[in-house]
Structure 1
Amino acid sequence: MEIARPVTMRPNAVDARAAGVEFGLTTTFMATVFSLVHWGIGTAPPSASANELRIRVAAVSILVGLTIVGFADSRPGRFSGAHMNPAITLGVFAAGLLPARRVLPYLLAQSAGSIAAAALLRVAWGPSVSGGPVRWAVVQPGPGWPDASVAVAEAATLLVIVGVMCWMTACRPHWRAVWVVGGLFGLQGALLGTITGGSANPARQLGPALLSGEFHLLAVYLVAPVAGGVLAGWTAHRLQHARNVRRPVLAWPTPPERRARPSSAVLNPAVAVGRSPGREQ
């Protein structure tokens, strides 16, 4: 008879390295996103039409989606999972695809990365980042959009994205998840960027809001995506559990130190194919 080992909440050395990689990825990714916003939207002339602004936002969003693909498919991305988004981390944890001991280190790494990226933006672009239509690349909704509508849109976006990720994990494990998820983030930005702001990532708003002092709807942009991601993950967890009652499958995740090679916890199909909703405590 095999004796079950007690599960610890304390991060091990591999978890600490993964959190460090997550910090580096989030910092670099957010600095890239903020620079794209500053370059692609912040340079729009005051006379720019609404259509020109939509085109600029769509172009930036497409580039952001491609950037997500590149980061997630990189060697560091395959090691940490390249979440770069607290709503993704909490969503996949609720789905049982991430050990609990990694949640807090990842959230701290992502938050610190967002703030560091905003500071790097100031260094890279100078005083111009504090003025213009995109102060510190902070996200704001279009005119006339109430707080509740923005919250619903942000939550629904992560509900869909995390739901698709969980569905692919269970039903389409061999699909190229990095392209699907990157495409969904790019699409939501192109469609919602000029309406609700199209943040879909608490780390996207945190650093710019803190450095700019622009706290309007900050709570919405921080909480709503997390709520949507967690709801999607929890629902997927319950559905998978109901199926596993009749057909047990291989437990996941495999401890990183036992893997033959590093792989992504979310965006890379090598790890996105969770075989069981069993959540590590």
Structure 2
Amino acid sequence: MSESLTRRGLAELFGTFWLVFGGCGSAIFAAKQIASDTSAGMSFNVGIGYLGVALAFGLTVLTMVYAVGHISGGHFNPAVTLGAVAAGRLPARDLVPYWIAQVVGGLIAGLALWTIAKGRKGFEAEGNMAANGFGVHSPAGYSLAAVLIAEVLLTAFFLIVILGATDKRAPAGFAGVAIGLTLTLIHLISIPISNTSVNPARSTAVAFFNGSGAPGQLWLFWLAPLLGGLIGGIVYVLVFTDEKLKLDA
């Protein structure tokens, strides 16, 4: 018996909340923590750094795929939903309801992160909410074109892995591991480039709390992942299956 759209939407909301809260939360609270040795007059970073943040994002998806993936498909990402529609894995009529659930879940997580972060004396949200960006708002100063290419390519490959790992021909039970590790790898590649989006809901979740140019650049982090998701969904069907490309309305 298939799950109702309401239940699937709630699964997507909860999953996206966890992705943003766990992934962006690790970047906000734990990536950089300075400890001091007063006797030696030294200070050093004891935070989790890029590697820890990348693992956190991967773990959020891995855990939620097993928790609620059997209910909604475990997208937690508008680009994944678009790719699933393009590949014929999800009816086109479910696209917008999934997107709404994902964006709402992400925004609730962003609000929760902002509220917690403001609990530390001296915290300034502007520029410190793990937002995505290009140019001066890229962690390493990458251009709009560089960020666009990276986000499209990485999202496309993310979709190919997701569709392959969940294909009926793939070994059963391991999809969550493959998907989680792929998202970890994506972050290891692209945190310095764009702070890694590959997910418009994740980008939207913190952009308006972050300020500092993030809202004005948000359009790119919808355009590039959606384009990548569409490419990945189409490529998987055309190259790796014998099915004909069709949209199930």
Distance 2:4 2:24 in 1: 30
Alignment-derived partner of residue 279 in structure 1: 247
Work out whether residues 87 and 225 of structure 1, in 8 Å CA contact, stay in contact via their aligned partners in 2. yes
* Structure 1 residues 248-274: Cα deviation after superposition (integer angstroms, max 9, x where no partner): xxxxxxxxxxxxxxxxxxxxxxxxxxx
The DSSP-based 3-state class of the residue aligned with 1:215 is helix
Match among 59, 62, 70 for residue 69 of structure 1: 62
The answer to whether the aligner puts 1:17 opposite 2:14 as a matched pair is no
- How many Å separate the matches in 2 of 1:43 and 1:113? 28
Instruction: Give TM-score, length-normalised by structure 2.
Output: 0.82
Residue identity in the other structure for 1:279: L
Q: Is the contact between residue 87 and residue 229 of structure 1 (CA under 8 Å) also seen in structure 2?
A: yes
Where do 4+ consecutive residues of structure 1 move more than 6 Å? Answer: 52-55
1:231 paired residue number: 231
C-alpha contact (below 8 Å) 1:25/1:82 kept by paired residues? yes
Aligned twin of 1:193: 191
**Structure 2 equivalent of residue 269 of structure 1:** none
Long gaps (5+) in structure 2: 36-41
The match for 2:101 among 109, 119, 123 is: 109
1:182 & 1:168 partners in 2: Cα distance? Answer: 11
| Distance in 1 (alpha carbons) for counterparts of 2:12 and 2:111 | 18
Query: Is contact 1:42–1:132 with CA below 8 Å preserved after alignment?
Result: no
Q: How does 1:37-186 map to 2 (within 5 A)?
A: 37-43=27-33, 56-74=49-67, 76-128=68-120, 131=124, 135-140=128-133, 141-170=138-167, 172-175=169-172, 176-186=174-184
Between 212-221 and 104-113, report the one with greater CA deviation: 212-221
Measured in 2, the distance between the counterparts of 1:153 and 1:95 equals 22
For normalisation by structure 1, the TM-score amounts to 0.73
Task: Spell out, residue by residue over 1:4-39, the C-alpha distance to the aligned partner (whole angstroms, 9 max, x if none).
Answer: xxxxxxxx9801221122112212331222221112
- Is the 1:158–1:229 Cα contact (8 Å) retained in structure 2? yes
Aligned-residue offset at 1:244: 4.0
- CA deviation after TM superposition for structure 1 residue 54, in Å: 10
Aligned letter for 2:60? T
1:219 is the counterpart of 2:193: no
How many residue pairs get aligned? The number is 234
Q: Report the CA distance shift for 1:44/1:228 in structure 2 as closer, same or farther (over 3 A).
A: farther
